[in-house]
Chain A
Amino acid sequence: MLKTIFTSVLLLGVLGYNTLNAQEKIDDDLNGFGEEVASDLDGFTDDVSGDLAGFSDEEVMNTESKNRKLHDDALRFSGNIAFKTSVGYKTHEVDGVDYSGVNQAQTSVYLQLDRKLSRDWKVRISSDAFYDAIYDLRGNEPYRQEVLDDYRTQLRLDDAYLQGRISASVDLKAGRQIVVWGKSDNIRITDVINPLDTRLPGMTDIEDLRLSVGIVKFDYYLKQWNLSAMVIPESRIMREPTPRGEFFPVDNVFNVPGGVVDPFPPLNTPATSWENMQYAFAANGVFSGWDLSFYAAEVLDQKSHFEEIPRPGVPLSGRTVSRIQMLGSAINVAYGSWLFKSEVAVLRGVKYNTSSDEKERFDALIGLEYMGIEESVISVEIANRHIFDYEQQMQYQADFVDQNEVQSALRITRSFANERLNATAVLSIFGLQWENGGFARVWLEYEVMDAVHANAGIVDYIGGDKPFREAIKDNDRVFADITYSF
């Protein structure tokens, strides 16, 4: 009995001691609020160390008034000014031009004008321009005029549209615009509306690649569904790397006795006309935990082909893009920290260089995105493009395309220091065993101050069995840029 009482008292004592220790620890933690937990609200100073001289509320209030009114402006003028540079760290020469060393010193300006016409209608016009001084600084290099035209200067109209609400459930957006289809972030399957600017492959993220196109777009909203109908009168096609420029060394890509014809056949843009009018329809459903889309389009293809099949001894014809029909679907399903993505598309009328037939193709993608690691996003996407009625010669010059073309993309992003610093790594590579080349890019984005961002990174072009990528495998570079937005 005595033993029991003694044990109980001892246990209570130990428990009590531990409880008090824990209580003291909590009290210590609570001191982080300030000297007195129960002090006045206004006097709730919380700087324990005194290191944080900038923590006074007064300074915060000073910045308030100038920022608060911005959204009220009916006429809004914004944009950015950027400087980009890159350094090729491997010797690589194309058409007599050495592209190693500093190979970009580009200053660019982007301007955007937004005008709110009424509560429901607005207009946007945006344009961009750049000048790359490297082509003058390295004036002794024998750049071709086509290269200078494409890479030294640019003045371009981007968005130019009128957007508004016709009725409670119908929207209209008319003019040059970008329409993004699909759920994938890295690989395009159903995203067929806007052409891409791939003059600097591997150097730019998808958001900066799309080119605006003139579209008249009606959107009808019915509960969780959005039905979209588009008429695309403008025939605008992709911008490819310039032939005999750094990213399209045609003499290394194509094996032609005596060399490839010079100048390389131009890429002809189909005329903007009634006959070439394009059409597109989409149905997008947004549900709790998942999204589903269906697409149908008759648009210009995203790749070019020779107008006539190249034959030995026959001059190469010009290049153009075909008109394709696409039926597709895309789905997103969120589960916990996972986002599952899938896209499928059937394309008809796809033309290649080595066959006179129009081919049918089935493109499919699956992807996973994981957001369960704090401040991080990891995404993996794998796609396959299957060509029906494949002809063996298509694997050789001038198509270099397999019956099944597998593309994989891996993207990892992590934020540090309260999103002041973001690190991103992207791998995009072709082939089931990654044998067909691609690129890897790693970069850091740092918020220098409000509205000023700087990037620095490295791109590794990975060679492989496909001459298009093998030919540019030495284009590896480090890059940096700084952007001021206003």
Chain B
Amino acid sequence: MIVKTLLIASLSLSPLLGISAHEIAQKVHDRDDGDNAVSNMQMTLIDKNGKKRVRNLKTFTKDRGIDRLRLMFFLSPADVKDTGFLTYDYDDSTKDDDQWLYLPELKKVKRIASSDKSSSFMGSDFSYSDMTLRNVDDYSYKIMKEPLVGGEKTWQMMVIPKSDKVIAETGYTKSIIFVRQDNFIVIQALHYVKLGKKLKYMKVTGLEKIEDIWTITKMQMTTKKAKKSLHKTIFEFSDTQYNQALEEAFFSTRTLERGL
């Protein structure tokens, strides 16, 4: 017990010895994750009985200053094919993101009121908040440990929202993240879900350097309750290409309506 106490005390002091938890979070936020990117994404939804549903999407992302534009089209299965999703993800946390959905059967671009990001992203275990960049200053951070994950040294950090508003928007009361020390990628994370006392385990299972940019090629999120897995989602990214000729005008409702 004494050893544990000392360990906790030493971890609490670690910000004084080197990089602070907040600085790590800022570096995670600021790391070069590529621009003008095109990628194929496969989303596999697996329920607790092992039944799978597979969706394939084409994604386009572009940085506009500190904001991020993202356009996604479903390619399959056939019943959701051509469904499009456009997001303007603003870095300013006081400003709501702009989101539009194109449903081919409705033949109409529909604006989505997006303040609440706790809902499932397209039926997956990832929420909309998992798919957007988080504002660093909305959270407090504390380094807990520096464990090895996948043979790589990480910072294990407690991340706690500073306000109830952030909790309401993300649905998470706190998170424990593991940040790789060599490239500032969150390699795994545990999210405490406010509703239903569920835990969500995110894990990066594929990481490659593409065009000199660390790129996540495979990740998964598993939702558990009382240590039982309820549902799992695997995202796989392929054919990722950066620095494509994506004009800002491409990220518009015009493209949503026209389709690929």
Decide: B56 and A334 in contact? CB cutoff 8 A.
no
**B14-22, B133-141, B227-235: which lies at the A interface?**
B227-235
Of B40, B147, B171, the contact of A68 (CB 8 Å cutoff): B40
Interchain CB contact under 8 A, A418 and B203: no
Tell me if B78 counts as interface (CB < 8 A to partner A). yes
Binding-face segment, A195-203, A233-241, A271-279, A444-452? A444-452
The residues of A that contact B88 with a CB separation of less than 8 Å are 288
> Contacts A46-B222, A80-B78, A419-B122: A71 and B260 contacting too (C-beta < 8 A)?
yes
In chain A between 386 and 443, which residues have their CB closer than 8 angstroms to a CB of chain B? 415, 417-420
Contact of A48 among B113, B123, B190, B224 (CB under 8 A): B224
- Within the complex, the shortest CB–CB distance from B239 to chain A, in Å, comes to 9
Binds B, one of A57-65, A308-316, A352-360, A458-466: A57-65
Shortest B172–chain A CB gap in Å is 12
When chains A and B are docked, how far (Å) is the Cα of A320 from the Cα of B5?
86
Inter-chain contact A78/B44, CB cutoff 8 Å? no
**B246: CB under 8 A from chain A?**
no
> Cβ of A336: which chain B residues have Cβ within 8 Å of it?
96, 113, 115-116
Pair count A-B, CB < 8 A: 226
Of A41, A64, A78, A371, the residue contacting B204 (CB under 8 A) is: A41
Q: Which of under 10, 10 to 19, 20 to 34, or 35 or more describes the interface residues of B?
A: 35 or more
Query: Digit string of A54-96 for contact with B (CB within 8 Å is 1, else 0)?
Result: 1101011001100110110000001110000000000000000
The answer to whether B205 and A419 have CB atoms under 8 Å apart is no
Contact size range, A: 35 or more
Closest A residue, CB atoms, query B144: A26
The interface bits of chain B over 120-146 (1 if a CB of A lies within 8 angstroms of the residue's CB, else 0) are: 101111000000000000000000100
Is the CB–CB distance between A374 and B205 below 8 Å? no
A348 adjacent to chain B (CB < 8 Å): no
Decide yes or no whether B254 CB sits under 8 A from chain A.
yes
A sample of 16 inter-chain contacts (CB < 8 A) reads A16-B5, A30-B190, A39-B149, A47-B229, A49-B228, A60-B46, A67-B76, A68-B40, A68-B238, A210-B107, A221-B254, A226-B254, A334-B112, A336-B113, A371-B112, A449-B51
Across chains A and B, which 6 residue pairs bring their CB atoms closest together, nearest first?
Answer: A54-B50, A419-B123, A41-B150, A485-B78, A485-B79, A336-B115
Binding site for B on A (CB under 8 A): 16, 19-20, 23, 26, 29-30, 32-33, 37-42, 44, 46-49, 51-55, 57, 59-60, 63-64, 67-68, 70-71, 78-80, 163, 171, 178-180, 183, 185, 206-208, 210, 219, 221, 226, 286, 288-289, 291, 332, 334-339, 369-375, 415, 417-420, 447, 449-453, 483, 485-486
